[in-house]
């Protein structure tokens, strides 16, 4: 079990890492996934079924892809991220679209500045894996969700097939740092993806924690043979 200082150190490291690549974050994501990350995020938006009169949070919102999609469907939405440069990118995109239905806020996902049982929906895309403690982070998300509230998690996964997993991990190990170096001058930021994925409990582990946290329904949608996954949990 990590100490409080370990948690702070990890959070600072991740914050610095994303701050360094924020300006080119969308470009690299488009290149490394051939634009498919946008398709997967749109799928999250559809599955979220966010409606007028509901309150929602896009946690670890980054440059705002999911938040922008949800805003088009109505409801009161907050896009929240720890990293200020990422929020600045999100704010610029919202302003360019004239989108005023998303409120942006800077906060640590481990200590959400929100009341108990205050949200109908929480989405988190490519953020859970980066938290200092996944279990504690999920408990904090659960705290702010209303009974019957929905949590959708999009993140990298671990393919069950060993051959597919080996090829996938090789791609992450070799090509992502290359893209990071070419586009951002920062290979280490993208080498971090595989490092964090190896430590991430992925499909089975996240499902187990969600169930033990008290969600009455947990469903996993695997994408590209499990290279990506979407968890849908109902509190």
Q: Residue 8's pLDDT is what? A: 65
* Domain-embedded: residue 47: yes
Q: Quick one: pLDDT at residue 124?
A: 98
d(CA 115, CA 124): 18
Asked whether residue 169 is assigned to any structural domain, the reply reads: no
CA-wise closest residue to 126 among 231, 219, 24: 231
Q: Is residue 227 part of a domain?
A: yes
Q: Could you tell me the CATH number of the domain that includes residue 71? A: 3.40.50.150
Q: With a cut of 70, say whether residue 171 has pLDDT above it.
A: yes
Our measurement of the distance from residue 25's CA atom to the centroid of its chain's CA atoms, rounded to an integer in Å, reads 14
Q: Which pTM does this prediction carry? A: 0.93
Domain count, the chain: 1
Residue 60's domain comprises 4-158+201-234
Mean residue pLDDT of the chain comes to: 93
Q: In angstroms, rounded to a whole number, what is the distance separating the alpha carbons of residues 122 and 72?
A: 16
Q: How far is CA 133 from CA 1, 74, 172, 177, in A?
A: 9, 32, 23, 25
Residue 32 is assigned to a structural domain of this protein: yes
Give me the torsion for CA of 79, 84, 86, 90, rounded to 10°: 50
Is residue 190 a part of any domain in this protein?
no
Q: Is residue 90 included in any domain, yes or no?
A: yes
What's the pLDDT at 7?
63
pLDDT score recorded for residue 6 = 57
pLDDT band at 3 (very low <50, low <70, confident <90, very high): low
148 lies in a domain?
yes
Question: Phi and psi for 132 in degrees, rounded to 5?
Answer: -60, -35
Task: Tell whether 179 is covered by a domain.
Answer: no
Which of 108-117, 148-157, 185-194, 220-229 is the least confident region? 185-194
């Amino acid at each position: 079990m990590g100490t409080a200082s370990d948690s702070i150190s990890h959070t600072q490291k991740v914050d610095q890492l994303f701050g360094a690549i924020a300006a080119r974050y969308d470009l690299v994501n488009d290149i490394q996934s051939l634009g498919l990350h946008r398709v997967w995020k749109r799928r999250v938006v559809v599955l979220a079924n966010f409606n007028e009169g509901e309150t929602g949070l896009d946690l670890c919102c980054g440059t705002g892809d999911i938040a922008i999609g949800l805003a088009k469907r109505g409801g009161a939405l907050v896009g929240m991220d720890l990293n200020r440069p990422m929020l600045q990118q999100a704010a610029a995109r919202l302003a360019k679209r004239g989108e005023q239905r998303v409120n942006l806020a800077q906060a640590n996902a481990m200590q959400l500045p929100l009341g108990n049982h205050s949200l109908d929906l929480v989405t988190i895309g490519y953020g859970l894996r980066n938290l200092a403690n996944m279990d504690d982070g999920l408990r904090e998300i659960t705290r702010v969700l209303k009974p019957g509230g929905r949590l959708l998690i999009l993140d990298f996964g671990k393919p069950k097939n060993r051959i597919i997993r080996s090829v996938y991990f090789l791609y992450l190990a070799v090509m992502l740092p290359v893209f990071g170096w070419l586009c951002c001058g920062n290979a280490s930021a993208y080498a971090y993806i595989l490092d964090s994925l190896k430590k991430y409990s992925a499909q089975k582990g996240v499902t187990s924690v969600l169930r033990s946290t008290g969600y009455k329904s947990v469903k996993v949608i695997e994408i590209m043979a499990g290279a990506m996954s979407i968890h849908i949990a109902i509190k």
